[in-house]
Structure 1
């Protein structure tokens, strides 16, 4: 594909951006407790600027800690934060990138329950998102006046730090959105009721910022045009809003869809597909004349399509630029094959922040927010390295070792690399996994790694003896469960079901096990193969091993696909007619099936690894699922560490 349309300059107000690629605002949760940003965050943003990104919008920085009630992204309250902000601004300017300061007055009703003491602030006494039994505290008119003064103060700090533009965070049902939206705004004063009144809060924010920064620093407004839940704002209703914003002096719109009621759109999952929020642009273009930006699972190809359609002026990459900070330069220099894809797993980016309160990382790029500490450098002493196993851990170990200049041989017993990754990549909605496997193939070939397919290694392989270091990544294998009939000809394990669809007979399929692999297989067979699928799960709910953001999408898709689900039920027998299940109350039910797929989980396949380590204990490292069963992220991370440690 020709990507030239992504690399023409374009103006927002008086600011000219060198290309059409914008980094979406995403929190890193790495700021210091005093509100200043950390050195790790500066290096993180500079790496994306160095990689050719036209404009970087930093994750929201708050007016003050009391309103924030969200992840730690910096606070624009005191002037002592300016020197560090100037450093990140000038680090990005070095590479020709523009940098935008996103300012937020808080999460409001969306405040994380582990990040607030008192009830959150909101436009009204609306229920808290995470605790519907808790009513929010409505902001008084005096507090609103104070917020406007604080916006002016924060905007002045951003200007003095050297930012090129400022973005108002009015997205995702956060505090500003809670004023704009009738479902959350039940006020009866001049900030509630009519659309004009509900927009007053947002328009006063724009006015306050403009009064502090003047005409030369453009103001961008980030807004979801379609809330995607019953009672929320619709695309049609948002058209009047964006016209009001343009009249208020907003210089550009950053638009997409979703809110915390559809949180899978805020952090768009693999199940939503490519360019899942592109649809809002065409209608918006009809109603405003200011520049439009759009985000949401864009690929380089959908980015070209959107820009060439004329419906948007900038395409925003979020997690894609986390996964590969050099995306823009690689596309510009016609090396699209080197772009490392985001797999849209949400595990190590937002997942780390929400579930662990840790700083951002990435499932496929371990160097995120550790650019200095985990820098890959050429080794002074070159070694002979053998990697056993071509799954994600082995592939990453081989790649990093080769980048350091070591001579690497990778043994893979199958005819293709990827391991379980290749099996999991067969559904269309997991196409990014397929791209990741292909990316590894390309990288290892370019790095001169000696990849030996269809080659099983045993203890006596001379390559092990000759190696200076051995990295064993033999992966995992399906858990075997003692169930009557499990060895029947109509039974497949979930890995074989992905890899050998021709072995799935008939229209009716029962999947035993409702974890992630079972649910993905069910969706693939129902949505893409037209099968009538039933999931049987012992736990009270399916996909209990899946982060709740991704689970939201899975549950919606399972309902759309008409998949039957039995929870709190165990498989007691498999026969030629199907499956016999036992429910929680002790009753049994027969479920007809032409094919039965077992998805009871995986266990580490460490027999060979243990033998190799026993013989070569002083030069062997076990990584990936053969050390501890995990996800793609944990496998890649352990492989990266092993390669970097050489």
Structure 2
């Protein structure tokens, strides 16, 4: 189906703020602000690049009112005038490209806060169990403290005006502190801030009033709220309707809506398993209850964005990780070059994964330039170099693309008949659609850049292409690891990569290995109505999966009734099935029509090492041929290899 994207370019207003289009950068923490409460050059440039790329509205990540209530990552210091000058620089650099910028305000995470950040005991609306440590009971806010928070919102609103922001957004989302007041699940107060839904919403409406008293009638106030918590006991879509009606009466100019909370965290940070436009469903009902503009987020593609806008149920589409992956995508789309848009693969690894796992600033699996725009501008070399790339997996493809942009004459040699490597070959499930799109994107870009790709071509150590090359990038990837178990050559045995490429005919399938590859394969086959068992020797499956993604994966494996045997070792494969040894030492045979080996990968290093040894002055090894890792590591190493050329 072909799409007319013109709907995305229609201008619109929120209160008196006119936007050039319907594309918004989602609010996402960047972990770029510095200790003095100002954003770093990296953070400012990050926002500027998305404005330059054509987004109509730039939403900052949540900025906390004070250290006491924050219990989260570093943000702008909204309670100090010292931070205003640098914030003004951010605003002006966004305005320079024709975009508007909105400051998102938050009074904190409440029960979702991490202990030892901010107050020792998290604050909340009521004595709720802390999310990360349910044995710790949160301290309910006193009424006097609530009044202080209202003053802090007024101070933050004044900060926004002085710095030149075009709007403010109140973060009432994700089960954070404001949401803890609104929802009966977390609000058991008996004073004027608890009880009836009107009382529970009082905290939020007073925030709106506090801000409005500072900014006046024409300045846009947006409210971000989850309309469906998606867990038993949480607020439902129906419950949320009178709340947004009341908030509109209180003075909210637009609603930024979706679903989920920390109990359903894989909707706060949607995964590839939740699908595209996974939270668009909340818009239809919301449209019936409010008259102000509606913004929606949730794994949108450009096509689902158009569909939702044309339905009339939303007015602005919020793109988060897609604008991380390709800040220029609005301009590319506007120019009629959809094929040039680099897709986000919804992996969560190098954006929220870096923040959660390493407490460092966000970047991107498919766009290593994200967060480092200031330091890694791709510039042309003074003289053309002949670059040979061996292997067309993600690392080799990125090395070739970046080297070609830098003016090199690049040739890729790939031993198989397709590009993408193992990463591309295992992308057969519906939930890996974006990976297939990424490989296709690389093919289009390399063709436009004039990169020659020689498929079905193996390179020998003395090949003239190596002798004549100025630089050699070796990205031969990895190969399957299969332990020396009895029956591994049985005709029933299929390598996990071959299972994706050729399909699986049998009904009863046993998968040996419960890492990400094994679990994804199990889910794909179960979605085809096959009976699937995973055998994993460790005490849990998917231990190598990014924790937020694991929430979705575990839920779907259960939904599709995949049988999971942990603490169980594969000791042999027979004509009947898989012989396993349990933790208690007993053995049994699990019947199987097909047995898929997913024990993991090992570096395909023989040729790589030989080339590096023979041509040490011009060889760079990339990705899994050195150490097996995830695709993002290979892409980053490929990018760095090409960027290091001099």
Change (3 A) 1:117 1:483: farther
Instruction: Give per-residue Cα distances to partners, 1:15-69, cap 9 Å, x unaligned.
Output: 1111000111000011101211111011110000000001010001110112111
1:214-363 equivalent positions in 2, closer than 5 A:
214-363=216-365
* 1:98 alignment counterpart: 100
Q: After TM superposition, give the deviation of residue 577 of structure 1 in Å.
A: 1.2
1:526-537 equivalent positions in 2, closer than 5 A:
526-527=526-527, 529-537=528-536
Aligned to 2:169, what secondary structure does the other structure show? strand
Aligned to 1:270, what secondary structure does the other structure show? coil
Taking the aligned partners of 2:114 and 2:422, their CA distance within structure 1 comes to 34
Taking the aligned partners of 2:179 and 2:119, their CA distance within structure 1 comes to 22
* 1:611 alignment counterpart: 610
Taking the aligned partners of 1:498 and 1:249, their CA distance within structure 2 comes to 53
* 1:545 alignment counterpart: 544
Taking the aligned partners of 1:283 and 1:86, their CA distance within structure 2 comes to 38
Residue 115 (1) aligns with residue 117 (2) = yes
Q: Which of 67-76 and 440-449 deviates more?
A: 67-76
* 1:505 alignment counterpart: 505
Does structure 2 conserve the Cα–Cα contact (< 8 Å) formed by 1:424 and 1:433? Answer: no
Does structure 2 conserve the Cα–Cα contact (< 8 Å) formed by 1:206 and 1:249? Answer: yes
* 1:436 alignment counterpart: 438
Taking the aligned partners of 2:534 and 2:57, their CA distance within structure 1 comes to 45
Instruction: Give per-residue Cα distances to partners, 1:302-356, cap 9 Å, x unaligned.
Output: 0000000000000110000000001111111110000000111111101111111
Q: After TM superposition, give the deviation of residue 589 of structure 1 in Å.
A: 2.4
Aligned to 1:152, what secondary structure does the other structure show? helix
Taking the aligned partners of 1:77 and 1:476, their CA distance within structure 2 comes to 52
* 1:524 alignment counterpart: 524
Residue 569 (1) aligns with residue 571 (2) = no
Q: After TM superposition, give the deviation of residue 71 of structure 1 in Å.
A: 1.3
Instruction: Give per-residue Cα distances to partners, 1:198-231, cap 9 Å, x unaligned.
Output: 0000000000111111122100000010001110
Q: After TM superposition, give the deviation of residue 116 of structure 1 in Å.
A: 4.8
Change (3 A) 1:78 1:253: same
Change (3 A) 1:3 1:63: same
Q: After TM superposition, give the deviation of residue 113 of structure 1 in Å.
A: 4.1
Aligned to 1:562, what secondary structure does the other structure show? coil
Taking the aligned partners of 1:97 and 1:21, their CA distance within structure 2 comes to 10
Taking the aligned partners of 2:32 and 2:210, their CA distance within structure 1 comes to 28
Taking the aligned partners of 2:499 and 2:248, their CA distance within structure 1 comes to 53
Q: After TM superposition, give the deviation of residue 586 of structure 1 in Å.
A: 1.3
Aligned to 1:603, what secondary structure does the other structure show? strand
Does structure 2 conserve the Cα–Cα contact (< 8 Å) formed by 1:391 and 1:418? Answer: yes
Taking the aligned partners of 1:119 and 1:587, their CA distance within structure 2 comes to 47
Instruction: Give per-residue Cα distances to partners, 1:591-645, cap 9 Å, x unaligned.
Output: 1110000111111101000010111011000001112111011010000000111
Aligned to 2:90, what secondary structure does the other structure show? helix
Instruction: Give per-residue Cα distances to partners, 1:140-169, cap 9 Å, x unaligned.
Output: 001000000000001100111000000000
Q: After TM superposition, give the deviation of residue 580 of structure 1 in Å.
A: 1.5
Residue 627 (1) aligns with residue 626 (2) = yes
Taking the aligned partners of 1:263 and 1:188, their CA distance within structure 2 comes to 29
Change (3 A) 1:233 1:319: same
* 1:75 alignment counterpart: 77
Does structure 1 conserve the Cα–Cα contact (< 8 Å) formed by 2:68 and 2:119? Answer: no
Instruction: Give per-residue Cα distances to partners, 1:428-475, cap 9 Å, x unaligned.
Output: 001000000001001100000111111111112101000010000000
Taking the aligned partners of 2:108 and 2:79, their CA distance within structure 1 comes to 13
* 1:493 alignment counterpart: 495
Taking the aligned partners of 2:282 and 2:526, their CA distance within structure 1 comes to 28
Aligned to 1:269, what secondary structure does the other structure show? coil
Tell me the TM-score normalized by structure 2: 0.99
Residue 6 (1) aligns with residue 8 (2) = yes
Q: After TM superposition, give the deviation of residue 117 of structure 1 in Å.
A: 5.6
Q: After TM superposition, give the deviation of residue 590 of structure 1 in Å.
A: 2.0
Aligned to 1:226, what secondary structure does the other structure show? coil
* 1:559 alignment counterpart: 558
Instruction: Give per-residue Cα distances to partners, 1:172-195, cap 9 Å, x unaligned.
Output: 000100000000111111111110
Taking the aligned partners of 2:567 and 2:140, their CA distance within structure 1 comes to 42
Q: Runs ≥4 in structure 1, deviation > 2 angstroms?
A: 112-117
Q: After TM superposition, give the deviation of residue 136 of structure 1 in Å.
A: 0.6
Taking the aligned partners of 2:206 and 2:195, their CA distance within structure 1 comes to 17
Taking the aligned partners of 2:116 and 2:610, their CA distance within structure 1 comes to 45
* Superposition CA RMSD, Å: 0.8
Aligned to 1:440, what secondary structure does the other structure show? helix
* 2:193 alignment counterpart: 191
1:28-47 equivalent positions in 2, closer than 5 A:
28-47=30-49
1:421-460 equivalent positions in 2, closer than 5 A:
421-460=423-462
Aligned to 2:368, what secondary structure does the other structure show? coil
Gaps of 5+ in 1: none
Q: After TM superposition, give the deviation of residue 505 of structure 1 in Å.
A: 2.7
Tell me the TM-score normalized by structure 1: 0.99
Aligned to 2:227, what secondary structure does the other structure show? strand
Q: After TM superposition, give the deviation of residue 530 of structure 1 in Å.
A: 1.6
Q: After TM superposition, give the deviation of residue 372 of structure 1 in Å.
A: 1.3
Q: Which of 586-595 and 139-148 deviates more?
A: 586-595
Instruction: Give per-residue Cα distances to partners, 1:364-397, cap 9 Å, x unaligned.
Output: 0111111010110111121111000000000000
